[in-house]
Amino acid sequence: MKRSFNMRQGQVTLSLEGEEVLALVNAAMKEEVNFQRIEAKSPTFYKVKIDPVDAVRMRSLARSYNVRMKILSKEGWPFALHWLKKQPGFLAGPFFFFFILYMLSNIVWNVDIEGASPEVEHMIEQWMQEEHITPGTSHTELPPLDVLQKEVVSAVDGVTWVGVRLQGTRLKLQVVEQTLPDEADEKNEQHIVSTKRAVVREMYVEQGTAVKEPGDFVQPGEVLISGILNPPEPGEESSDNTPPQSVAAEGEVLGEVWYEADVTFTPGPDLSLLSGEREVAYQMNAFGLTLPIWGNQASEAFTEPVVRANTHSWRIFGYELPLQTKSITYYEQSQQTAELPDDAMEITAVELTSHELKKELPEDAEVTGEKILHRRDENGKVKISLHYQVMQNIAEDAPMIQGD
């Protein structure tokens, strides 16, 4: 006999042992004891499951039939609740665990300051300690984040903006510091002079008086932009109303500069070319001895042959034998002198000199023209002269000399 178990009602498992155990079960059924399961282990030993409310009546009947009854287990919600009443700590434990977890998650455990220099970071940390915003502070004790942001900017010098974020137990401050523009170095009174022998093409005067004009030919050291404002005309004295004023001349002057380069080509190197003729000799090496097989005179067939040798080792079942065959091939070669055509020489000369010239020029310089001036043969060598036109800045600062 077996019924489904009702967890809400619960059940009690009993062992019944005695001569009258069967009569006891029949009498209990007449008394309407609710058996959920009856299992006969032997004629004198039964194992039954009954409702908890019938346990008292079952004990009374067992005594009257002289049957020993023992409670094996108690299952179901009624017994679990009864056990919890006796163990209040077990019920309160999870509640306190989640309560403590919630409280700890509402505390700032880390304060991260990013984007600040060590000095500014130290100042922010000191201010936060004075305001009691340190690890261990509760979220409820923190001011609103937008208010905290404004307070940090106003309290700490050198801070332009602060982004404040609260991520769990971590308080993050992203700092943007003030960046003051570098103060320009005050320049002394100066002229702008030419660094090259060139023709002025373009002038950009920021401060000072232009002395030269586009198209003028200048020598190194000549003044291009004067640092004297309102200079008097030659032969005239400055008026009292507009006296000359000395400043630091500034500007840029682009000039056309000429460069010349020479490239010398020597006759090409001798090249060794194979004619296609060859002779082959065969040998056998055994136990350190060399035995000629064929082509003993092959080494004498050519004057300066190219020699290639190929050795083959013999193996049987993976074992290498002390026996080798060797083939030696002798190739005939001839010497020829390599010569470059004239146009190839000129192209090579331009490429070589252009590459070397660009390495020496400033980055903003531009090669505007190139020309081969002349080509001549000297003592079996070819010499090519080239002319380059380069547009570059020819201006440099020059201090004023007393009396300018």
Q: Rounded to whole angstroms, what are the CA distances from 307 to 37, 278, 342, 360?
A: 105, 10, 36, 48
CA distance 358 to 230: 40
Place 45 in a pLDDT band, splitting at 50, 70 and 90: very high
- Average pLDDT value for the chain: 80
In a domain, 119, yes or no: yes
Place 242 in a pLDDT band, splitting at 50, 70 and 90: low
In a domain, 182, yes or no: no
pLDDT at 235 over 60: no
Shared-domain flag, residues 62 and 171: no
Place 236 in a pLDDT band, splitting at 50, 70 and 90: low
In a domain, 193, yes or no: yes
pLDDT on residue 231: 61
Question: Other C-beta atoms within 10 Å of 113: how many?
Answer: 18
Shared-domain flag, residues 324 and 349: no
pLDDT on residue 182: 53
Q: Which residue has the higher pLDDT, 150 or 337?
A: 150
Shared-domain flag, residues 345 and 374: yes
Q: Which residue has the higher pLDDT, 4 or 282?
A: 282
Tell how strand 110-114 and strand 170-177 pair up.
Answer: parallel
Pick the closest to residue 231 from 214, 210, 206, 215 (CA basis). 210
If you count DSSP H runs as helices and E runs as strands, how many of each does the chain have, helices first?
7, 24
Report the percent of the chain where pLDDT is more than 90: 3
End position of a domain, from candidates 130, 154, 177? 177
Buried-exposed string 277-306: b where 16+ CB fall within 10 A, e elsewhere:
ebbebebeeeeeeeeeeebeebeeebeebe
Shared-domain flag, residues 202 and 247: yes
pLDDT on residue 62: 87
Shared-domain flag, residues 252 and 348: yes
Mean pLDDT of 51-63: 85
Shared-domain flag, residues 132 and 231: no
pLDDT at 333 over 80: no
Shared-domain flag, residues 39 and 76: yes
Per-residue pLDDT tens for 101-160? 888 888 888 888 888 888 888 888 898 888 888 888 888 888 888 888 888 888 888 888
Report the percent of the chain where pLDDT is more than 70: 84
CATH number (domain holding residue 141) = 3.10.20.310
Place 246 in a pLDDT band, splitting at 50, 70 and 90: confident
Q: For residue 259, which amino acid is it?
A: Y
End position of a domain, from candidates 290, 305, 337? 337
Cβ(24)–Cβ(65) below 8 Å: yes
Please tell me the least confidently modeled range out of 138-147, 251-260, 293-302: 293-302
Tell how strand 306-316 and strand 228-229 pair up.
Answer: unpaired
pLDDT on residue 52: 84
**For the chain, what is the domain count?**
4
pLDDT on residue 368: 86
Q: For residue 272, which amino acid is it?
A: S
Supply 189's token pair: 């009174």
Please tell me the least confidently modeled range out of 33-42, 77-86, 263-272, 386-395: 263-272
Q: Rounded to whole angstroms, what are the CA distances from 82 to 5, 7, 34, 311?
A: 19, 14, 22, 98
Q: Give the three-class secondary structure for 137.
A: strand
Asked whether the whole model's pTM tops 0.75, one would answer: no
pLDDT on residue 339: 57
Phi, psi of 10 (to 5 degrees): 85, 175
Supply 122's token pair: 């130290």
Supply 222's token pair: 């000549």
Shared-domain flag, residues 259 and 203: yes
CA distance 8 to 20: 32
Pick the closest to residue 135 from 92, 164, 169, 105 (CA basis). 169
Domain range for 70: 11-82
In a domain, 1, yes or no: no
